[in-house]
């Protein structure tokens, strides 16, 4: 099993969710996050006073998949969330030790 | 009387009043004015020959005069009551949202409370003694005091409706107006309209000490400032006092006195300069210059600015104190100046910084409105656009340039917009005021552009207001600082005024 954490643009969330649902993904977790990558932040100006905003708002999707689905899911997120502009985000893939469904006690891929 | 009947009488009266001899017309108080206006349209349905025959040797009966007078009063009074409500709209929600959006999240209730609380506090002060100190006394009397009003209207005496046992009728005192060309409206209406100005003026100052002043001290400061600074100034400029153009009580040093249609000196210079004194004496906010302090909700600010723009029509066009052609002119001037100010400030940012900001457009509109306020009833639309542009350029420079150069913390630019914009507007009134709009100088030139000498009086009034506001506010603040302290503690300031002063939070999401 792998855990995929994808940090993407807000307006791409709906498209990515729909695309992953079509892939058979049954659950995901969404978090509002702030951060920066190579593009850094941006400056804002209020009546002549400049403020540098270091952390840019993004949305993080966490989804756990069987090893066999990893490639397709990563590929889907890449394809759907991409605009080609700087600031499209990143995908992190993490080896997962176990998953447990609290209601039934199922473990591993059965719990996904 | 039905609406139809009233309209019939009005039409008849207008035909007659338009053609009566000039002597008869001038003998009436309000009837001729309405008749003159309505007569223009009525002549379309009646041939001049018919009317000339019918009106020869005819004197308007008293009951007809009364009907026309009542109709005129109804129009004037309706407009003035609407204007009064529009001016109140400027304080809350207008100013409360405008300022509320500009502060940090932890202080949004604090600044809104200052605006809202002052609507209550200043209304009561106005009813108890404020109106009397500002508008008490008869300027035509020899014993008139040109520096301060008197006790004529204390606790609304002589303002409220009363039951006359002698005549067995209810009576409403009327406002005859000064210098004398204004149709009477109920004194209650005049009191209400002016009271709304008394509310918003101290509220404007709150922008300078936002996010750090003790609420209790703010309350006492407002009572003292309103009584000792605002009321005398209103008396000097608007009630035959030492600075009013054409006043019989003008001292030599006043250089002929100043025109201030809706409060350039009384409202904006006085509050703006006092705001600067407050900002300097209270000191900068903790972390000013090192921590970011951006506005927490500019959407509030945009809505607030839009409400200010709307309310300002009551502020300026209502200052004619009747519903006539000058009110229309003031309305137009106000609108064009706001429009020009909005695009000018945004355009300057676009040119200098690369982007036209929303806050810039809002600030520019307010700067244009402030700038046109003293001149609104004295200038035509094109000079009003010029004044709006000037307001945008100068206030932009004050807010973005002076403030960072001299490093005072006028949190929400009360001085940069109202002090600077008000001063500019008062001076430009001396340039652009024209006899085409106002007969203040009995048909003689007024502003510099048409060869008049009004500008000298405007300069003197500006200087007098600056000195009075600086000295008065400084003294009040020094006394209050010694007695109760001006500023919240560091811990309270870090916590935010919402919780530390009011025990509430602006945003609770559950």
Inspect the interface and report whether the beta carbons of A47 and B353 lie closer than 8 Å. no
Bridge partner residues of A3 (DSSP): A64, A94
Which token pair is A31? Answer: 């978090």
Contacts of residue B358, Cβ cutoff 8 Å, sequence gap at least 6 = B298, B301, B302
Give A48's contacts in chain B (Cβ within 8 Å). 396, 399-401, 403-404
State the CB neighbour count (10 A cutoff) for residue B481. Answer: 14
pLDDT at B409: 94
By C-alpha distance, the chain B residue nearest A52 is B292
Q: How far is B22 from chain A (nearest CA, A)?
A: 57
Inspect the interface and report whether the beta carbons of B399 and A45 lie closer than 8 Å. no
What average pLDDT does this structure show over A10-16? 96
pLDDT at B66: 85
Nearest CB to A46 within list B295, B401, B404:
B295
A55 touches chain B (CB under 8 A): no
At B233 the three-state DSSP class reads helix
Q: How far is A46 from chain B (nearest CA, A)?
A: 7
Distances (CA, A) of B94 to A35, B88, B366, B421: 36, 9, 11, 19
Q: Which of B294, B305, B350, B353 to mutate to test the interface with A (most CBs of A within 10 A)?
A: B294
pLDDT at B37: 30
pLDDT at B11: 44
Give B355's contacts in chain A (Cβ within 8 Å). 45
Measure CA B46 to chain center. 42
Is the model's pLDDT at A11 over the cut of 80?
A: yes
Give B357's contacts in chain A (Cβ within 8 Å). 45-46
Per-residue pLDDT of chain B (510 residues; tens, 9 = 90+): 444 454 444 444 444 443 333 333 333 333 333 222 333 333 333 444 444 455 557 788 889 888 888 888 899 999 999 999 999 999 999 999 999 999 999 999 999 999 999 999 999 999 999 999 999 999 988 899 999 999 999 999 999 999 999 999 999 999 987 655 567 899 999 999 999 999 999 999 999 999 999 999 999 999 999 999 999 999 999 999 999 998 989 999 999 999 999 999 999 999 999 999 999 999 999 999 888 899 999 999 999 999 999 999 999 999 999 999 999 999 999 999 999 999 999 999 999 999 999 999 999 999 999 999 999 999 999 999 999 999 999 999 999 988 888 889 999 999 999 999 999 999 999 999 999 999 889 899 999 999 999 999 999 999 999 999 999 999 999 999 999 999 999 999 999 999 999 999 999 876
Contact B459, B453 (CB under 8 A): no
Nearest CB to B399 within list A45, A48, A51:
A48
By C-alpha distance, the chain B residue nearest A48 is B400
B498 touches chain A (CB under 8 A): no
pTM for this model (two decimals): 0.84
B420 touches chain A (CB under 8 A): no
Q: How far is B399 from chain A (nearest CA, A)?
A: 7
Nearest CB to A45 within list B357, B363, B404:
B357
pLDDT at A43: 87
Q: How many degrees, rounded to 5, is the angle at CA A99 between CA A59 and CA A63? A: 20
Contacts of residue B481, Cβ cutoff 8 Å, sequence gap at least 6 = B281
CA R_g for chain A: 17
pLDDT at B13: 46
Contact B217, B423 (CB under 8 A): no
- Residue B474's Cβ-count burial label (10 Å; 0-12, 13-18, 19+) is middle
pLDDT at B14: 46
pLDDT at B181: 52
ipTM for this model:
0.73
């Amino acid at each position: 099993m792998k855990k995929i954490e994808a940090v993407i643009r807000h307006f791409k969330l709906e498209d990515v969710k729909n695309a992953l649902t079509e892939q058979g993904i049954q659950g995901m977790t969404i978090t509002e996050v702030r951060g920066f990558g190579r593009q850094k932040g941006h400056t804002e100006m209020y009546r002549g006073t400049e403020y540098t905003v270091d952390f840019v708002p993004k949305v993080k999707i966490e989804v756990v998949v069987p090893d066999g689905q990893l490639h397709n899911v990563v590929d889907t997120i890449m394809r759907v969330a991409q605009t080609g502009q700087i600031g499209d985000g990143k995908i992190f893939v993490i080896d997962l030790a176990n998953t447990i469904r609290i209601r039934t006690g199922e473990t591993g891929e059965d719990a996904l | 009387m039905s609406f139809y009947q009233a309209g019939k009488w009005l039409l008849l009266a207008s035909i007659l009043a338009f053609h009566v001899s000039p002597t008869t017309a001038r003998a009436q108080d309000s009837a001729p004015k309405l008749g003159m206006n309505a007569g223009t349209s009525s002549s379309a349905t009646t041939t001049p020959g018919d009317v000339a025959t019918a009106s020869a040797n005819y004197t308007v009966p008293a009951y007809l005069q009364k009907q026309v007078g009542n109709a005129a009063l109804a129009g004037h009074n309706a407009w003035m009551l609407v204007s009064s409500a529009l001016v109140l709209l400027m304080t809350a929600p207008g100013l409360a949202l405008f300022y509320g959006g500009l502060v940090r999240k932890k202080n949004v209730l604090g600044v809104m409370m200052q605006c809202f609380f002052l609507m209550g506090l200043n209304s009561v002060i106005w009813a108890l003694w404020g109106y009397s100190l500002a508008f008490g006394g008869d300027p035509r009397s020899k014993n008139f005091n040109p520096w301060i009003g008197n006790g004529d209207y204390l606790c609304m005496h002589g303002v409220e409706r009363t039951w006359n046992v002698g005549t067995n009728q209810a009576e409403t005192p009327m406002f005859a107006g000064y210098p004398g060309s204004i149709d009477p409206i109920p004194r209650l209406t005049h009191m209400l309209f002016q009271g709304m100005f008394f509310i918003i003026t101290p509220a404007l100052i709150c922008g300078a000490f936002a996010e750090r002043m003790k609420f209790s001290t703010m309350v006492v400061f407002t009572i003292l400032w309103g009584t000792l600074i605002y009321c005398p100034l209103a008396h000097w400029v608007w009630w035959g006092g030492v600075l009013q153009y054409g006043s019989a009580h003008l001292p030599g040093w006043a250089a002929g006195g100043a025109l201030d249609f809706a409060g350039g000196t009384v409202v904006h210079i006085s509050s703006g300069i006092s705001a600067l004194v407050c900002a300097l004496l209270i000191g900068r906010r903790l972390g000013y210059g090192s921590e970011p302090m951006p506005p927490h909700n500019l959407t509030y600010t945009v809505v607030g600015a839009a409400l200010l723009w709307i309310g300002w029509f009551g502020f300026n066009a209502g200052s004619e104190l009747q519903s006539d052609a000058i009110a229309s002119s003031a309305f137009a001037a106000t609108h064009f100046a706001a429009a020009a100010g909005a695009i000018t400030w945004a355009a300057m940012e676009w040119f200098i910084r690369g982007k036209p900001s929303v806050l810039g457009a809002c600030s520019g509109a307010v700067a244009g409105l402030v700038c046109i306020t003293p001149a609104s009833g004295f200038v035509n639309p094109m000079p009003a656009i010029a004044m709006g542009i000037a307001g945008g350029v100068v206030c932009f420079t004050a807010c973005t340039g002076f403030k960072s150069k001299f490093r005072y913390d006028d949190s929400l630019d009360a001085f940069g917009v109202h002090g600077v914009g008000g001063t500019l507007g008062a001076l430009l009134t001396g340039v652009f005021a024209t006899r085409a709009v106002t007969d203040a100088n009995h048909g003689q030139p007024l502003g510099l552009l048409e060869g008049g000498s009004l500008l000298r009086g405007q300069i003197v009034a500006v200087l007098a207001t600056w000195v009075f506001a600086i000295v008065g506010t400084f003294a009040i603040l020094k006394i209050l600082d010694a007695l109760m302290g001006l500023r919240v503690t560091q811990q309270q300031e870090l916590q935010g005024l919402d919780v530390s002063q009011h025990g509430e939070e602006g945003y609770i999401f559950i």
